[in-house]
Structure 1
Amino acid sequence: MFSKFHRSVIKTALIISVLCLANTAMALTLQQAKQQGLIGEANSGYVASVQSAPTAKVKQLIDDTNQKRKLGYQQISQQNNMSIEEVTALGRAKAKQKTLPGYYFQTKTGEWIKK
């Protein structure tokens, strides 16, 4: 039916597929990271690590999230003729308000507080 070569290719493809699915399954979402106390709403209007030494996955999640927020803040700023600082301040206030009980937010002085 299949030659030895074809079986080898199929086997390799299956292994790669499984590894890709496992990697996706292990991906950490922002909500999960907040729930686990790894990430909180920073006093800057962005998210930050609650821990002093975050893992590479957590750092990447923070970077990705903050990149999206920055783009969003810039769009709102341009559309509403507001400074980026004004938009960021509004984002910070809204994020703190929407922080769920048990999740972290950062005070003006930089202290992490569990809501």
Structure 2
Amino acid sequence: MKRMSAALLLMWMIAQPAWALTLDEARQQGRVGETLSGYVAARQQDNETQALVKHINEGRRTQYQRLAQQNALTTSDVASIAGQKLVSRAAAGEYVRGINGQWRQK
């Protein structure tokens, strides 16, 4: 069941709404990066990037809560599992923040 929920979570993260700046574009431009917390973080502080980060993280939080309830886990546990997967699956050239809090480019 956890595998199925993780697969649904990853499919949801791929299907993002149309924005002036997409998550993929922001990742490729180094404006945002994935974190082990399961949430995307801004590397640039402009309004467009901040709005995208807020929107993405609100959606993720909602999905993490739903998956946590379905699997008798905490939201934090689900976010952490997702964060580990998102960081490990980041594409070459994208930024991730490690356990030391430092950004690194994959």
Check whether TM > 0.5: yes
SS in 2 for 1:105: strand
Letter in 1 for 2:101: G
- CA 1:66–1:26 in 2, change beyond 3 Å: closer, same or farther? closer
Superposed, 1:66-105 pairs within 5 Å as 66-105=57-96
Residue 10 (structure 2) aligns with: none
CA drift of 1:49 comes to 1.0
Supply the distance in 2 between the matched residues of 1:57 and 1:89 (Cα, whole angstroms): 26
Supply the distance in 1 between the matched residues of 2:59 and 2:87 (Cα, whole angstroms): 18
CA RMSD of aligned residues (A): 1.5
Any conservation in 2 of the 1:43–1:110 contact (CA below 8 Å)? no
CA drift of 1:40 comes to 0.2
What is the TM-score when the length of structure 2 is the normalising length? Answer: 0.79
Letter in 1 for 2:25: Q
Any conservation in 2 of the 1:48–1:62 contact (CA below 8 Å)? yes
SS in 2 for 1:74: helix
Q: Which runs of 5+ in 2 are unaligned?
A: 1-17
Letter in 1 for 2:41: A
What is the TM-score when the length of structure 1 is the normalising length? Answer: 0.73
Supply the distance in 2 between the matched residues of 1:77 and 1:41 (Cα, whole angstroms): 20
Deviations 1:69-100 (A, max 9, x none): 00010010000011112111101111012100
Runs of 4+ in 1 over 3 A off after TM superposition: none
Q: Which structure has the greater CA radius of gyration? A: 1
Q: Does 1:47 align with 2:21?
A: no
Supply the distance in 1 between the matched residues of 2:36 and 2:104 (Cα, whole angstroms): 11
Pairs aligned (count) = 89
